[in-house]
A and B are shown apart, each in its own frame.
Chain A
Amino acid sequence: MDEEKMVMPQPILETSRLRKIFGGLMAVVDLNFKVMPGQIKAIIGPNGAGKTTLFNIITGILPPTGGTIRFKGREISGEKPHRIAQKGISRTFQTVELFGNMTVLENVMVGRHVRTKKGLIQSGLRLPGVKREERLVLEMAQEKLEVVGLMRRANESASGIPLGEQKLLEIARALATDPQLLLLDEPAAGLNETEKLRIGEIIRKIRGSGITVLLVEHHMDLVMNISDEIVVLNYGEKVAEGTPEEVKGDEKVIDAYLGVEIRYA
């Protein structure tokens, strides 16, 4: 009750002093940032800035070395990936991680796994309820394929469709888990201009359906176009945060991308 009365909305995701060290490499350094519900927030930065590492920490694939991550006010750092998926965070991968041995439709159906619960024995014996659950999963998966426009590919092998569509399929699969927060890791990498525009539209549509989006992306036109806020990372540290306009003019951001001019005396 108290939370609802508060004037300031609670951030959906909040990291504080988050840190990840690989041997001698500081991949993420004391990172503090917030994502507000309903936002599209982008994380940008040069290669090796720690963006994907950050995603892997948030989704539980890597444990943080220090610091905390809160999702809807609850601590989630150190939880197993499948538990985090259950709580409502889903993601796509930078290097496409589809189930190549399954069809497009089946890939999305796997996404529904976390919201269904019939077990091994129940499924094996086809106990009452299994069939109904199965039908709901199928309908839901078709609906999500519709969202990204891949319905016509439903029965093709996921490894056989073009890269642009594989990226969309990953989004559909992530949506099938009913996330509240969706992490997109370079959704536009390797896409052509038309596909990039489409991805932009789809991300907006996803936000429109009430899902908060956090994305890592290198295509600045797309990032500047759709993001409400941007965090700039360099060598694991936050160098800037703000609206696209604020970030664009920030000197430190320009330095991070173009390098600092060395003045010779």
Chain B
Amino acid sequence: MGKENRRAVFILMICLGIFPFFIRSDYYLSIMIFIGINAIIVMGLSLLMGYAGQISLGHAAFFGIGAYCSGVLTVKLGFSIFTAFFCGIFLSTIMAMAIAIPTLKLKGHYLAVATLGFGEIIYVIFNELLEITGGPSGLSGIPSIHFFGYSFKGGWRYFYLVWTVAILLLIFSLNIIHSRIGRALRAVHGSEVAAQAMGVNVSQFKIQVFVLSAIYASVAGTLYAHFVTFISPSTFSLFVSILLLMMVVIGGGGSIWGALLGAGILTVLPESLRAFRDFDILVYGIILMTILLFMPEGIFKGLTLSLIWMRKKW
């Protein structure tokens, strides 16, 4: 994955490793946990959008499938957390394939439309299957995660759990990007016809990446469900899908680091705008617009470019 990336992952690991030693407040720890959860989904989306050039408007649904699988199977059916987790991944994989195989064989933005519909269907299912999902009032009493008698209940323990998963998926994603698969994906983005002529099976890779990103979202869903222990459909609505998409765009589509940054910024921003009271949405909108006006390729690229510029100047 390249020397620079390896160093960056190492630095990130150290920063995250010492974070709970300095910040003890449960509030900040839980924000960091939400950043980790969002980052997992956004990394998957970034592979799909930034590298393969496909747009999904339904990733909140995969996030929800992961969360509800974990929730329903552990609460109602007494499954172990592990089994429920893999059931979520399995179900997301099947659903993702069912959407991707017919739509990704076509050219154009069919995936965006199909995932939009899919997201709405799943949202309705979460709301209407009252006996199973608890409907609009949600599902509560989801157990917190424990392995071999060790419980991940405390804020800092869960923080380490979430970020361990996030870092592992980060390394996995970086490995993919710096391999023939990553090159093939970028090639598809650059010129589909040339990619085919070079022997890239375009639809196969698009499908694979879409399924992979759905799995990322499902993993995040499980982590979310066991952290907040209560889930309701509103967490998995179209608005959330769009928010996740915004995280990719704000961070910068063509980079996994941008995905992390985007997840971080858009998770923290609403929290830090509380001081503006009723005007928070307004300020939020202005900030997003400013970022996109001045850094159309995302914050990560924008910051890198301004760093280079500053180095030249001084």
What is A's interface to B at a CB cutoff of 8 Å?
A: 59-61, 80-82, 85-86, 90-91, 93, 97-102, 106, 109-116, 118-120, 123-126, 130, 133-134, 137, 173-174, 176-177
Contact = CB atoms under 8 A, between A and B. Distances in A.
A154 to B, nearest CB: 15
Given A110-B198, A112-B180, A118-B180, A125 B172 contact: yes
A91 B208 CA distance: 26
A134 B198 contact: no
B170 to A, nearest CB: 11
Contacts of B186: 99, 101-102, 106
Nearest to A173: B198
Nearest to A131: B179
Interface residues of B, number: 29
B197 A91 contact: yes
Interface string B174-209: 011001111110110111011111111110000011
Contacts of B66: none
Contacts of A174: 197-198
Nearest to B172: A124
25 contacts: A61-B197, A80-B196, A80-B201, A81-B193, A81-B197, A82-B196, A99-B189, A100-B190, A100-B191, A101-B254, A102-B186, A102-B187, A102-B190, A106-B186, A109-B180, A110-B183, A112-B180, A113-B187, A114-B200, A116-B180, A120-B212, A123-B180, A125-B172, A125-B175, A134-B179
A177 B40 CA distance: 35
Given A85-B197, A177-B199, A99 B181 contact: no
Given A81-B197, A90-B197, A116-B180, 5 more contacts: A60-B196, A82-B199, A120-B209, A120-B212, A177-B199
A100 B187 CA distance: 9
A194 B189 CA distance: 33
B176 A97 contact: no
B199 A97 contact: no
Contacts of B199: 82, 85-86, 113-115, 177
Contact of A123 (B179, B201, B209): B179
Contacts of A123: 175-176, 179-182
Nearest to A170: B194
B173 interface: yes
Sort A-B residue pairs by CB-CB distance and give the 7 closest, nearest first: A114-B199, A99-B190, A123-B179, A85-B199, A81-B196, A97-B194, A124-B172
Contacts of B200: 82, 110, 113-114
A98 B182 CA distance: 16
B180 A126 contact: no
B180 to A, nearest CB: 5
A215 to B, nearest CB: 16
A133 B183 CA distance: 14
Given A61-B193, A82-B200, A110 B176 contact: no
Contacts of B194: 93, 97-99, 173
Contacts of A176: 198
Contacts of A98: 190-191, 194
A61 B180 contact: no
Contacts of A90: 197-198
A122 B189 CA distance: 22
A213 to B, nearest CB: 16
Given A99-B191, A124-B173, A130 B198 contact: no
B183 A102 contact: yes
A114 B199 CA distance: 5
A86 B190 CA distance: 21
Contacts of B208: 120
A101 B255 CA distance: 12
A97 B196 contact: no
Contacts of A126: 175
Contacts of B183: 102, 106, 109-110, 113
B45 to A, nearest CB: 16
A246 to B, nearest CB: 32
A123 to B, nearest CB: 4
A110 B187 contact: yes
A177 B198 CA distance: 7
Interface string B206-243: 00110010000000000000000000000000000000
A221 B187 CA distance: 35
Contact of B187 (A85, A86, A99): A99
Given A98-B191, A99-B186, A111 B175 contact: no
A137 B180 contact: yes
B86 to A, nearest CB: 16
A100 B189 CA distance: 9
A124 B184 contact: no
Given A101-B186, A119-B181, A85 B175 contact: no
A123 B185 CA distance: 13
A106 B189 CA distance: 14
Interface string B243-265: 00000000000100000000000
A60 B184 CA distance: 19
A85 B183 CA distance: 17
